[in-house]
A = this chain, B = another copy of it.
Amino acid sequence: MMHGALQDFALTLDKFLDHAAKWHPETEVVTAREDGSTARIGYAGLNLRARQVSGALRSLGVAQGDRVATLAWNTQEHMEAWYGIMAMGAVCHTLNPRLTAEQLAWMIDRSGAKLLLASADLAELAHSVSDLSDGGSCRVMILGPEAKGPDAFDAVANLAPQDTPWGEFNETSPCGLCFTSGTTGAPKGVTYTHRGNYLHTLKLMQADVTAITARDVVMPVVPMFHANAWGLPFACPAAGAGLVLPGRQADGESLARLIAQEGVTIAVGVPTVWLGLMDYLDATGTTLPSLKRIMVGGAPMAQALMDRIEARGIAVQTTWGMTELSPLGTATPPNSEVRDPRAAGRPAVGVDLRLTDETGTPLPRQRDVEGYLWVRGPAVVERYFGQEESATVDGWFDTGDLARIDHYGTVRITGRSKDLIKSGGEWINPGEIETIISALPCVAQSAVIGRSDPKWGERPLLLVEFREGFSPSDEDLLAELKGKVANWWIPQEVVRLRAMPLAPTGKIDKLRLRNQYCRA
């Protein structure tokens, strides 16, 4: 009693939508429909809808801690479902529609979700998932105003009360569940918590991170079903920013139309999406005067693409993150002088990084050397869903990434430790070779994998997808590496692919490449 106290205030995600509804009631969430029309709702209206989702879930028997799965693109209905699920204390298990029904059923069986909310265009996949899951005990209901019949979720939500309590639980309660892509090994479930996402949101809102303000209109092309759409469905209402959801369409024409129509100021997605947008703008002579910044991440950015975007007066902000980090790790500040597509910025306060050797021992020097990147912080995984053992060592999580941190603290991801190739007892980092090859104007995408070799143990194999109209000789291609990497790093062989195989998250599927080209 002697010391005074400040007020109790649990860091729960319902607060974001309540804040937006009260202080930014008319700021809109806009969804692009497949027919080219848009659906629009203010934060005040969205809040009421989400509260009805909570009421509907309660009437369907969902309790705090229960998992409710969603299978949907970035849409208003998905936003309503997210907040309706999370704010009442249930756990939103997002499913990736690009995975197979078998893969998704496996995940549903792990999470134990008894209810799956799917958008109408994914109803067929949702029912397959349910049928394939243990005993078919997961009920499918269809989101959106068009759904009819006993499985129409809106029919329940429209009649539901709006007074289901929000946020009346511990802030460390789980709110979300996302399985990693599992291109190497079985997928692992990352549990997100209210506190973790709340603090991650406050990180995003910093002036040196996303710097989102109430005057911005933000378009996340990154999906809500993967790593929280980088946290933007939380940060936008928290900042009072408008939110533009592209639905299923991520082609250049659809995105350009949406950006122009809605006055999007910040667009967020993986590099390939912006390649499509730039191609469309170049081909049609379209300009996008409202767009001031593109945030990229999820895959390495090519210098040529960065140059093309910046030539239009649009700033490029590079980032690094992963599912296990909720997901943002580092970001170059908006309007940074560092104009390097490989730079991923510095960590914001609350994210700590260290470099180790391959045994996990911290390197004596942490700057200007390459090392294994470990991370810690309040939004970093400690233990995967359903597992008993910790995913950390001494409080640090091994990202599996290799990185170099320069004198100014700027992080550059140099590769994946699992991709390292051991040749003649020494390590080759395929990431460095890929960066050089992918920067060539003739190359669309490239990958380097290790193939077993009787003499050297492993030797690097280069796989390339060329851009249309290009087909240089192997010699000319490999000559580009001379002087830039050690001679013994240079692959002897080049495999030409019509199309690089991609995993459902959009990354190059190295597991598949290894299975196809490296089996003994």
Q: Could you list which residues of chain A lie within 8 angstroms of chain B, going by C-beta atoms?
A: 1-9, 11, 15-16, 19, 22-24, 65, 91, 112, 172, 174, 189-193, 195-196, 199, 202-203, 205-208, 210-215, 238-240, 326, 333, 346-347, 349-350, 352, 376-388, 392, 395, 397, 409
The answer, among B174, B205, B326, B392, for a CB contact under 8 Å with A3, is B174
Once A208-B213, A349-B16, A349-B238 are accepted as A-B contacts, the answer to whether A384 and B4 lie under 8 Å apart by CB is yes
Please give, as numbers and ranges, the residues of chain B lying within 8 Å of A191 by CB-CB distance.
Answer: 3-6
Known: A4-B384, A4-B386, A213-B333; 18 extra A-B contacts, CB below 8 A, are A2-B112, A2-B385, A3-B91, A3-B385, A4-B383, A4-B387, A6-B191, A7-B376, A7-B382, A9-B199, A22-B409, A23-B409, A202-B205, A205-B206, A205-B208, A206-B207, A207-B213, A240-B346
Complex: how many Å from CA A379 to CA B8?
9
A4 touching B395, Cβ below 8 Å: no
Of the A-B pairs whose beta carbons lie under 8 Å apart in the complex, a sample of 16, sorted by A's number, is A3-B385, A4-B385, A5-B383, A6-B326, A6-B379, A7-B382, A9-B378, A11-B378, A22-B409, A23-B346, A23-B347, A202-B205, A205-B208, A207-B207, A207-B239, A208-B240
Complex: how many Å from CA A243 to CA B172?
34
A346 touching B214, Cβ below 8 Å: yes
B206 touching A380, Cβ below 8 Å: no
Complex: how many Å from CA A230 to CA B376?
29
Complex: how many Å from CA A9 to CA B2?
27
When all copies of this chain in the complex are counted, the total is 2
A208 touching B239, Cβ below 8 Å: yes
The answer, among B239, B350, B386, for a CB contact under 8 Å with A2, is B386
Please give, as numbers and ranges, the residues of chain B lying within 8 Å of A192 by CB-CB distance.
Answer: 6
- Of chain B, the residue at the smallest CB distance from A67 is B3
Please give, as numbers and ranges, the residues of chain B lying within 8 Å of A347 by CB-CB distance.
Answer: 23
Could you say which of A5, A24, A172, A196 has the most chain B C-beta atoms within 10 Å of its C-beta?
A: A5
B4 touching A349, Cβ below 8 Å: no
Complex: how many Å from CA A15 to CA B376?
12
B7 touching A392, Cβ below 8 Å: yes
Please give, as numbers and ranges, the residues of chain B lying within 8 Å of A6 by CB-CB distance.
Answer: 172, 191-193, 195-196, 326, 378-382
Please give, as numbers and ranges, the residues of chain B lying within 8 Å of A383 by CB-CB distance.
Answer: 4-5
Please give, as numbers and ranges, the residues of chain B lying within 8 Å of A4 by CB-CB distance.
Answer: 174, 189-191, 381-387
Please give, as numbers and ranges, the residues of chain B lying within 8 Å of A196 by CB-CB distance.
Answer: 6
A211 touching B211, Cβ below 8 Å: yes
Once A16-B349, A214-B333 are accepted as A-B contacts, the answer to whether A5 and B208 lie under 8 Å apart by CB is no
- Of chain B, the residue at the smallest CB distance from A195 is B6
Query: Lowest 6 A-B CB distances belong to which pairs?
Result: A4-B191, A9-B378, A207-B211, A202-B202, A6-B196, A4-B385
- Of chain B, the residue at the smallest CB distance from A3 is B174
Complex: how many Å from CA A190 to CA B5?
8
Please give, as numbers and ranges, the residues of chain B lying within 8 Å of A382 by CB-CB distance.
Answer: 4-8
B239 touching A206, Cβ below 8 Å: yes
Complex: how many Å from CA A383 to CA B4?
5
Please give, as numbers and ranges, the residues of chain B lying within 8 Å of A409 by CB-CB distance.
Answer: 22-24
- Of chain B, the residue at the smallest CB distance from A16 is B349
